[in-house]
Amino acid sequence: MSAYLLNRVGQALFVLWAAFTISFVLLQAMPGDAILIKFQNPDLGLTAQQVAEIRASYAADSPILVQYVQTIGKFLTGDFGYSVQAGVPVNSLLAAHLPATLKLATLGFLLASVLAILIAFLSSLTPFTWLRGVLQSVPSLFISIPTFWLGIMLIQIFSFRLKLVPVINPGPWQELILPVFALAVPISAPLAQVLVRNIDDVLTRPFVGVARAKGANRHWILWRHVAKNALLPTLTIAGVLFGELIAGAVVTETVFGLNGIGGLTERAVGSQDAAVLQAIVVLSALAFVIINLVVDLLYPVLDPRLRTKVGVAA
């Protein structure tokens, strides 16, 4: 087990390094950079010479390899540098923006899971074929709804028309109601789809036939035999969906004016704020790695067969 863990941690570190390096190279390859965008801005009215002096003071034109080694060295000590555009250290930007995204993503994912499970199990349990058809087409509908449109519709209807939740100056949890829903809808779709397919798949297995032959009713079979087996592949998808979650958060946070990593990313991309982007990429990669690690470690908990296999291997 410890060898397995070490191996996984090693992989994780490699992924982090690769994410850092690739994003560094890509940011370098793009035309222009944050300092150019910020200081060539005509609103500042700086002369070519002044811009050149500023570039020199930031060491913006030193060799790429030198910049790479310096940046990675600072990252290892937890120093992410300064945001050129916002004029504050990246650390304080992250500290200000992370909590909102964590809340949004966690709640969004929980609600998405609830929605997905509801859709999947209701469609399996319903005795009516037409209702089953309707429920099973819900994921396709959910995934086709653009998040920004859903967000704006939710605001217009629930905030401006029905006045149920304010979008301006809401309470700390109030502000999450609509965005969590807007984020959960598209995330729930693939989850529900995979779950529905797995349930159908497991229902055709011989052991289900045996259980049925022993006189178990439909509910008993679904909860006791099918659910556990069908959840396993869904868990894998859930790990992968984390990426979707971050992407969805960009749009959701922008529409709802939430102060999260998504909105921060959007602004940093607009101004090619390399220090901020670099920190976000590494942070996202870290989250991705941890979530997938947790998912892998959860498999044996859900499936006793895997538990013994891992035990034997270790």
Partner 1 sequence: MTTKLKRLALTLATLAATGLTHVGAHAEGTEPVKGGTLIYLEQQAHTNLYPPAGGFYPNGGILNQITDKLTYQNPKTLEIEPWIAESWTVNADATEYTFKIRPGVTFSDGTPLDAAAVAKNYDVFGLGNKALKHPVSEVINNYERSEVIDPLTVKFYFKRPSPGFLQGTSVIGSGLVAASTLALPFEELGDATKIIGSGPFVVESETIGKELNLKAREEYVWGPAKLEHQGRAYLDGITYIITGEDSVRIGALLAGQADFIRQVQAYDESQVEAQDYQIYAPSTRGVNNSVVFRPDNPLVADIKVRQALLHATDAKEIVTTLFSANYPQATSIIASSALGYKDISAKLAFDPEKAKALLDEAGWSVGSNGLRQKDGKELVLTAYESLPQPQNKETLQLVAQQWGKVGVKLNVLAGDSGSRTVDDLDPLKTPVSPAMVGRADPDVIKSQYYPKNRDVLRQKGGLSDKVQSFVDDKLNGLLDALASEPDRAKRLAIAGEIQDYVVDQAYAIPIFEEPQAYAGAPYVQGVAFEAVGRPSFYSTWLAEH
Three-state SS annotation for 229-287: HHHHHHHHHHHHHHHHHHHHHHHHHHHHCCCCHHHHHHHHHHCCCHHHHHHHHHHHHHH
- Quick one: which of 255, 282, 285, 291 contacts partner 1 (CB under 8 A)? 255
Q: Encoding tokens for residue 183?
A: 């984020």
Minimum CB separation of residue 286 from partner 1 in Å reads 22
Closest separation between CB of residue 108 and partner 1, Å? 19
Segment lying near partner 1 (by CB under 8 A), choices 7-15, 104-112, 158-166, 230-238: 158-166
Instruction: Reduce the DSSP state of residue 313 to 3 states and report it.
Output: helix
Judged by CB under 8 A, the number of residues near partner 1 is 62
Chosen residue from 26, 157, 240, 302 binding partner 1 by CB under 8 A: 157
Is-contact 187 245, C-beta < 8 A? yes
According to CB under 8 A, which one of 8, 12, 15, 54 is a site residue for partner 1? 54
153: which DSSP letter? H
User: Is 34 or 291 the residue whose CB approaches partner 1 more closely?
Assistant: 34
The interface with partner 1 within residues 70-99 (CB under 8 A) comprises 82-89, 92-93, 96-97
Q: What is the C-alpha separation between 80 and 93, in angstroms, rounded?
A: 10
* Contact between 108 and 180 (Cβ < 8 Å): yes
Q: Whole-number minimum distance, CB 292 to partner 1, in Å?
A: 29
Q: Tell me the closest approach of the beta carbon of residue 173 to partner 1, in angstroms.
A: 16
Backbone torsions φ then ψ of 82, nearest 5 degrees? -110, 145
Distance in angstroms (rounded) separating the CA atoms of residues 145 and 251: 13
The only residue of 10, 73, 133, 166 in contact with partner 1, by rule CB under 8 A? 166
Residues that bind partner 1 (CB under 8 A): 30-33, 36-48, 50-51, 53-54, 57-58, 82-89, 92-93, 96-97, 148-149, 152-153, 155-157, 159-161, 163, 166-169, 254-259, 263-264, 267, 270-272
